[in-house]
C-alpha cells in the first residue's frame, strides 16, 4: 500500500457543494474566474483541478487521467471512487495537464448530447496568456479570458468542437485555485 | 460481485481483526487501548462518515439473493503518523467506534506492535464476542420446540 495518501476536502459536504456552485457559476458565465479552496490535492494536481474532480466524479463516471498525472491516481480513486478509463473515448471526465487532442474524447450524439466528456485542463495560469474573446450564452456582449499554456491554434481547434453542436466537449480550465469554464456553446476568437 | 470469502487469502489475518473490531463497541475498544501505552497521532483521511449499505440475504440460506434491507454503516480511514493506513467499516452510526477501529487497524499493520495489540486488544475482544454469541445461542436453545418429542408423546 502506498503511504502517501492524503485527505480530501477539509469538509467533504460543504467543500464539494461550494466547488459545485463555483463550477455552475463558471459554466453559466464563460470567462469568469472562480476561486476554490478547502482541499490540498497531491502533485501534480492544483487545488482547483483536484476539487473539481472530487466534486464531479463518482463510481458511475469513468475518469481518464493524463499519464503525466498518474501520481494523483490513488488519491482520486480513493476519495471519488471513479473507475479509470484506459480509453479516452469511454471517459465521462478527463484530467489533462495542458490541452489534449479533443477528438479522442466522446463528443456525444445529437440524440444524447449529455453523453459527451467534460475535460478538466490544468494550465500554468488563467491570466497573462494570449487574450481570447468569448461570445455566446451567458455573456452579455463579449468576455475576455487570457489563459496561459493553450496552443496558439486553440481558436481553430475550438471552432471544430463548436461545429459539433449540440454535441461537443465542455472544458474546465484550472490553474492553482482558479477555474474558468468553456462550455461547448461559447464562441472563441483571438482578441 | 462474488460472495466468495477465501479464508486462505493473504488478507485473512487482517480480515479477522477488522471483523473483531467491527463487532466490538467503541467503549470496549477504548478500554482495551488504555492499557497499551503511547500510541502515535493519527491523521483522518476520510470520515468518520455515515452511509447506507444494502444487506442481502439468501432465501432459505442457500437460494437466490434478495435485498433484506438497508443498514447504517459508518466508515473511517486514518493514517498513523508516518505509518500505514487503517480502514474501518462498522454497522451503526457510532463515529467514535469507526475511528477507533480504523486506528487499531493501522496499528496492527505495524509489525513491532501487532503482537502486543493482538494479545491485549484483539484476543480479549474476540473472546468477549464469542461469549456474547454463546449466551444468545444458549438462551435461544432453551426456547427451542422439539417436534420430534411432541410426536413421541402422541404415540
Domain assignment of residue A38, yes or no = yes
Cross-chain residue pair B45–A5, CB shorter than 8 Å: yes
Minimal-distance CA residue of chain A relative to B77: A7
Would you list the domain boundaries of chain B?
A: 12-154
B142, containing H or E segment = helix B123-142
Query: In angstroms, rounded to a whole number, what is the distance separating the alpha carbons of residues A26 and A51?
Result: 14
The ipTM is: 0.71
Res A55: pLDDT: 95
CA distance B139 to chain A (A): 44
Q: A124-180 pLDDT, tens per residue?
A: 999 999 999 999 999 999 999 999 999 999 999 999 999 999 999 999 999 999 999
Contact A1 B79 (CB under 8 A): no
Q: Do B46 and A8 touch (CB under 8 A)?
A: yes
Best residue in B81, B85, B87, B110 for a mutation probing chain A (most A CBs within 10 Å)? B85
3-state SS class at B144: coil
- Give pLDDT, residue B3: 46
CB pair distance less than 8 Å for A7 and B43: yes
Supply the range of the domain harboring residue A80: 12-190
Size of interface A-B (CB pairs under 8 A): 23
> Which of A2, A4, A6, A7 should be substituted to probe chain B, the one whose Cβ sees the most B Cβ atoms within 10 Å?
A7
Gap between the Cα atoms of B82 and A139, Å rounded = 50
pLDDT for position B34: 86
Query: What is the C-alpha separation between B141 and B137, in angstroms, rounded?
Result: 6
User: Is B45 in contact with A78 (Cβ distance < 8 A)?
Assistant: yes
A191 touches chain B (CB under 8 A): no
Q: Chain-centre distance of CA A50, in angstroms?
A: 10
Q: Does residue A119 lie in a domain region? A: yes
Instruction: Check pLDDT > 60 for residue A181.
Output: yes
Which whole number is the average pLDDT over B131-155? 79
Q: Are the C-beta atoms of residues A94 and A121 closer than 8 Å to each other?
A: no
Grid cell, residue B9, equals 487469502
The confidence band for B1, taking pLDDT boundaries of 50, 70 and 90, is very low
Identify the closest residue of chain B to A80 by CA–CA distance: B46
Q: How many domains does chain A have?
A: 1
Q: Are A8 and A37 in contact (CB under 8 A)?
A: no
Residue A4 belongs to a domain: no
pLDDT of residue B113: 85
- Taking the alpha carbons of A71, A54, A59, A171 in that order, is the dihedral positive or negative? negative
pLDDT in tens, A104-122: 999 999 999 999 999 999 9
The reported pTM is 0.82
The C-alpha cell 485542463 sits at A121
Considering only alpha carbons, which residue of chain A is nearest residue B78?
A7
Residue A39: phi and psi, rounded to 5, are -150, 150
Confidence of residue A1 (pLDDT cuts 50, 70, 90): very low
Note whether A78 contacts B: Cβ–Cβ < 8 A: yes
CB contact set of B60 (below 8 Å; sequence gap of 6+)? none
The pLDDT of residue A133: 95
Tell which residue, A179, A158, A142, has the closest CA to residue A102.
A158
Residue A141, domain CATH: 3.40.50.11310
**Burial code of B45-74, b = ≥16 C-beta within 10 A, e = fewer?**
bbbbeeeeeeeeeeeeeeeeeeeeeeeebb
CB-closest option in B49, B82, B85 to A5: B85
pLDDT 10s digits, B4-49: 455 556 788 899 999 999 999 899 999 888 878 777 888 899 989 9
- A79 and chain B: CB distance < 8 Å anywhere? yes
A116-154 b/e (C-beta count within 10 Å ≥ 16 → b): bbbbbbbbeebeebbebbbbbebbeeebebebebbeeeb
User: Which of A1, A4, A5 would best serve as a mutation to test chain B binding (most B beta carbons within 10 A)?
Assistant: A5
Answer for the pair B55, B21: CB distance below 8 angstroms, yes or no: no
Closest A-chain CA to B47: A12
Amino acid at each position: 500500500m502506498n503511504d502517501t495518501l492524503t485527505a480530501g476536502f477539509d469538509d467533504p459536504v460543504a467543500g464539494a457543494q461550494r466547488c459545485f456552485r463555483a463550477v455552475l457559476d463558471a459554466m453559466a458565465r464563460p470567462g469568469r474566474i472562480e476561486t476554490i479552496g478547502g482541499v490540498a490535492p497531491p502533485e501534480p494536481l492544483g487545488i482547483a483541478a483536484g476539487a473539481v474532480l472530487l466534486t464531479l466524479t463518482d463510481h458511475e463516471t469513468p475518469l481518464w487521467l493524463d499519464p503525466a498525472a498518474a501520481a494523483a491516481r490513488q488519491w482520486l480513486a480513493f476519495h471519488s471512487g471513479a473507475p479509470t478509463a484506459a480509453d479516452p473515448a469511454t471517459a465521462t471526465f478527463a484530467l489533462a495537464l495542458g490541452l489534449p487532442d479533443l477528438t479522442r474524447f466522446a463528443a456525444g450524439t445529437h440524440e444524447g448530447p449529455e453523453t459527451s466528456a467534460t475535460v478538466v485542463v490544468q494550465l500554468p495560469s488563467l491570466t497573462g496568456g494570449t487574450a481570447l474573446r468569448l461570445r455566446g450564452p451567458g455573456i452579455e456582449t463579449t468576455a475576455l479570458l487570457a489563459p496561459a499554456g493553450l496552443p496558439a491554434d486553440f481558436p481553430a481547434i475550438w471552432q471544430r468542437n463548436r461545429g459539433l453542436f449540440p454535441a461537443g466537449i465542455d472544458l474546465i480550465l484550472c490553474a492553482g485555485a482558479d477555474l474558468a469554464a468553456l462550455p461547448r456553446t461559447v464562441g472563441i476568437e483571438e482578441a | 460481485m462474488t460472495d466468495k470469502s477465501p479464508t486462505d487469502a493473504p488478507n485473512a489475518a487482517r480480515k479477522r481483526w477488522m471483523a473483531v473490531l467491527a463487532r466490538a463497541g467503541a467503549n470496549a475498544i477504548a478500554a482495551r487501548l488504555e492499557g497499551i501505552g503511547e500510541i502515535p497521532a493519527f491523521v483522518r483521511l476520510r470520515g468518520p462518515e455515515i452511509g447506507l449499505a444494502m444487506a442481502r440475504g439468501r432465501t432459505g440460506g442457500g437460494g437466490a439473493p434478495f435485498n433484506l434491507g438497508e443498514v447504517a454503516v459508518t466508515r473511517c480511514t486514518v493514517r498513523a503518523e508516518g505509518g500505514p493506513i487503517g480502514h474501518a467499516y462498522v454497522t451503526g452510526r457510532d463515529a467514535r467506534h469507526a475511528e477507533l477501529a480504523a486506528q487499531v487497524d493501522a496499528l496492527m499493520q505495524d509489525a513491532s506492535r501487532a503482537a502486543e495489540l493482538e494479545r491485549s486488544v484483539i484476543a480479549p475482544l474476540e473472546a468477549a464476542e464469542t461469549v456474547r454469541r454463546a449466551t444468545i445461542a444458549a438462551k435461544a436453545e432453551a426456547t427451542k420446540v422439539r417436534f420430534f418429542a411432541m410426536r413421541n408423546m402422541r404415540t
